[in-house]
Structure 1
Amino acid sequence: MPKAASTLAACIAMALATPAQAEDWSLVIHGGAGTIQRDAMTPEKDAEIRAALDAALEAGSAVLREGGSSLDAVTAAINILEDDPNFNAGRGAVFTWDETNSLDASIMRGDTLAAGAVAGASTTRHPIDLARKVMEESPHVLLSGEGADQFAREQGLEQVDPSFFFTQERYDALVRFKAHAMQEQQTSQIDVDYKFGTVGAVAMDQSGVITAGTSTGGMTGKRWGRIGDSPIIGAGTYANASCGVSATGTGEIFIRLAVAYRICAGSAWAETPEPVASVREEAIAALMGEVNNQTKTNADLAINAVGELGGSGGVIFLSSDGAPGWSFDTPGMYRGSATSDGEKVVAIYGDEE
């Protein structure tokens, strides 16, 4: 590579990996997407969900405000959502066909590309903590089933009786799902309960490190050990030095499109990406703005692609400037963001900013 091009590439890489200012931080969260509409939501439930999202934002923000890591912030925020029965993760997870709760989670840090994930856990209270332990304390990326819970016990993570995850609302959704299936109607989990309650968070700390995490109970009525996108690195969760993504939606399609990875891959969705080396060195600042804007464009293109294959859902993301964002094609998405400049957003419906 010519010296000038090499220098340019190095400058771009540095700019992508460095936050705008040393003490900047940001956090974006989601609690799932789907048919979430005002006329189907009581004022009490609306307030309850907003309070839960706000609590998760505060938990993560408190870590970042004190100079803590994005890894700690993501786990703190997701822990709150995993314990709230309004969301399909941890307590309040949906039921499998066999009337059990099967929990999936993943986490990834962008500076090292270290990642950990778990699928099919059933006794570990906080699956996101287990995913983090897989990343930090094992030689593996993904553990599943009883082995995952065994590893959790060995690591001293809190264990609970499977009944801890039970909620009547989720069980009733399974009963409705089975009733449709037994009548041999053309139905799916979406027809019965069109809401992806997966939770996730993406954070950038004061050192500019981005971390992304996702936790879910999967699909109502899932069978045969089905695993969706949430524990799959690159599908439901991904982070690198300049981007982080957490997804919720039709898992099989998010896997097929490697949605989270491709959003962070810059020009992966573009038909004719512009070669970075062709940009003059004095245009680096403008290029950085374009890269950050491209993250939003890539997210929109990703959700469009999911829709074209018959799926639906949404994503949250951060890019190298720390600006939080989201994209979804459903009537609503539980979501929120907070930044070091004091801006905070909590939203539910599609017409909210």
Structure 2
Amino acid sequence: MRLPLFFTALLAAGQLSAQPAVEGRWTLVIHGGAGVIERDRLTAEEDSAIRAALAEALETGSAILREGGASLDAIEATIRVLEDDPNFNAGRGAVFTYDGTIEHDASIMDGATRSAGAATGTSNTRHPVTLARRVMENSPHVFLSGSGADAFSIEQGLEQVENSWFETDRRRGQLEEFLARQADDVSAYDIDLKYGTVGAVAVDIAGNVAAATSTGGMTGKRWGRIGDSPVIGAGTYADNRSCAVSATGSGEYFIRVGVAHEICAQIRFRFEQRLAEARASVPVDEEGVPEFYVHASEFGLQADEIQEIADSVIAEMAALGGSGGVIVTTPWGIGTYSFNTPGMYRGMASSEGGASVAIYGDED
């Protein structure tokens, strides 16, 4: 297989850089949900409001990374902004359950240590992503649920609000439409795919990646249904050896494929293969001593390879019947999206290329 072009050039020159190829580079990628998001479904005012909200969240996290802050701090701050914005299905503005309540799920993961925290079915924590981080850092566990997660949140001194604080008229209307359409169907499902889950992934200037996801789940969910968003490896995963991923979409399928972990695993295996090939190609002298040494920090996978892997895992999930998307960033500073729905609320910023937000599938 062909080695990465910049490594090939260094090899031809008989030298390798002693420094990581992307030292000091940071990247932040965000999403606000994927689904049936088309131009004729949004008014001009809604389109403008969503873009403004994405831009505000993106700048919140970028400001932290720009000043040398940690990726974990950046993604938590980013998602807190989105959790407070009623345009998204997380925090305030989350969808209603079948019983007319609002329940939140969230998770977070540190790629440097592979520590993780998650909470599901919470009712009163204003910022579920912060609760997930407290589970990771201040408890011996990874995953808390329901009343136990609520109790832990109170013990941690996190801001509590009435469940009604999260409600919006738009989401109430969606529940009423849902119930009217499928009132007698115990397998009722949100066929319009009103997801709106939010997520963020980042790499900081130290090369540490992190990922987090927050959601209200699916309109009309029943029986304590849990989707992929709080499930480490399905909706969220981060590993400094490969990447950070946050997902949004039909959670049952993301769980079955283990989408977030699968993308990270394939990137890691591909990178390790490239590294082994590079080391095997180093010339040796008559005594078998290498003329130089190849270190893992000296190269990484190319952007097109990251995109190929993300696209292939989304395609695998789609082949089972699922839809949605992911955001990805790597320790080498590459950020990307992959989705198989008409649109995905999304944004990206980096130390290299400024910032941009998008909604529809045909936008760059």
Q: What TM-score comes out, normalization by structure 1 length?
A: 0.89
Structure 1 unpaired stretches of 5+: 1-14
**Equivalent residues in 2 for 1:32-47 (5 A)?**
32-47=33-48
Q: Does 1:178 align with 2:189?
A: no
Please give the alpha-carbon distance, in whole angstroms, between the structure 1 residues aligned to 2:249 and 2:163: 25
Please give the alpha-carbon distance, in whole angstroms, between the structure 2 residues aligned to 1:140 and 1:345: 37
Please give the alpha-carbon distance, in whole angstroms, between the structure 2 residues aligned to 1:334 and 1:19: 32
Hey, what does 2:212 align to over in structure 1? 213
Please give the alpha-carbon distance, in whole angstroms, between the structure 2 residues aligned to 1:71 and 1:275: 28
SS in structure 2 of the partner of residue 86 of structure 1: coil
SS in structure 2 of the partner of residue 196 of structure 1: coil
Indicate which of 332, 338, 341 corresponds to 2:349: 338
* Matched residue type, 2:249: G
Q: Which has the larger radius of gyration?
A: 2
Please give the alpha-carbon distance, in whole angstroms, between the structure 2 residues aligned to 1:329 and 1:244: 19
Residue 351 of structure 1 deviates from its aligned partner by: 0.5
Hey, what does 1:228 align to over in structure 2? 227
**Pairs aligned (count):** 333
* Matched residue type, 1:73: A
**Equivalent residues in 2 for 1:1-353 (5 A)?**
20-182=21-183, 184=185, 188-189=189-190, 191=191, 193-241=192-240, 242-266=242-266, 277-279=276-278, 280-282=280-282, 288-290=299-301, 293-353=304-364
Residue 114 of structure 1 deviates from its aligned partner by: 0.5
* Matched residue type, 1:266: Q
Please give the alpha-carbon distance, in whole angstroms, between the structure 2 residues aligned to 1:339 and 1:304: 27
Please give the alpha-carbon distance, in whole angstroms, between the structure 1 residues aligned to 2:231 and 2:276: 32
Please give the alpha-carbon distance, in whole angstroms, between the structure 2 residues aligned to 1:281 and 1:76: 44
Does structure 2 retain, via aligned residues, the 8 Å contact 1:228–1:255?
yes
Does structure 1 retain, via aligned residues, the 8 Å contact 2:154–2:160?
yes
Please give the alpha-carbon distance, in whole angstroms, between the structure 2 residues aligned to 1:332 and 1:290: 27
Which sits farther off after the overlay, 131-140 or 275-284?
275-284
How high is the sequence identity, in percent, across the aligned residues? 58
Does structure 2 retain, via aligned residues, the 8 Å contact 1:107–1:117?
yes
Cα RMSD, aligned residues only: 2.3
Residue 42 of structure 1 deviates from its aligned partner by: 1.2
Does structure 2 retain, via aligned residues, the 8 Å contact 1:19–1:322?
no
Please give the alpha-carbon distance, in whole angstroms, between the structure 1 residues aligned to 2:74 and 2:297: 30
Which sits farther off after the overlay, 327-336 or 176-185?
176-185
Distance change (3 Å), C-alpha of 1:151 and 1:212: same
SS in structure 2 of the partner of residue 233 of structure 1: coil
Please give the alpha-carbon distance, in whole angstroms, between the structure 2 residues aligned to 1:185 and 1:131: 31
* Matched residue type, 2:260: A
Could you report, residue by residue, the CA deviation over 1:189-232 in whole angstroms, capped at 9, with x for unpaired residues?
1x2x3232000000111111100000000011010100000000
Distance change (3 Å), C-alpha of 1:19 and 1:244: farther
Which sits farther off after the overlay, 197-206 or 278-287?
278-287
Could you report, residue by residue, the CA deviation over 1:277-334 in whole angstroms, capped at 9, with x for unpaired residues?
3443558799944465433212101111111111100000002221210000011100
Does structure 1 retain, via aligned residues, the 8 Å contact 2:68–2:204?
yes
Hey, what does 2:291 align to over in structure 1? none
Distance change (3 Å), C-alpha of 1:96 and 1:184: closer
Residue 276 of structure 1 deviates from its aligned partner by: 5.3
Distance change (3 Å), C-alpha of 1:53 and 1:183: same
Please give the alpha-carbon distance, in whole angstroms, between the structure 2 residues aligned to 1:174 and 1:268: 42
* Matched residue type, 2:359: I
Residue 21 of structure 1 deviates from its aligned partner by: 3.4
Distance change (3 Å), C-alpha of 1:223 and 1:262: same
Which sits farther off after the overlay, 58-67 or 260-269?
260-269
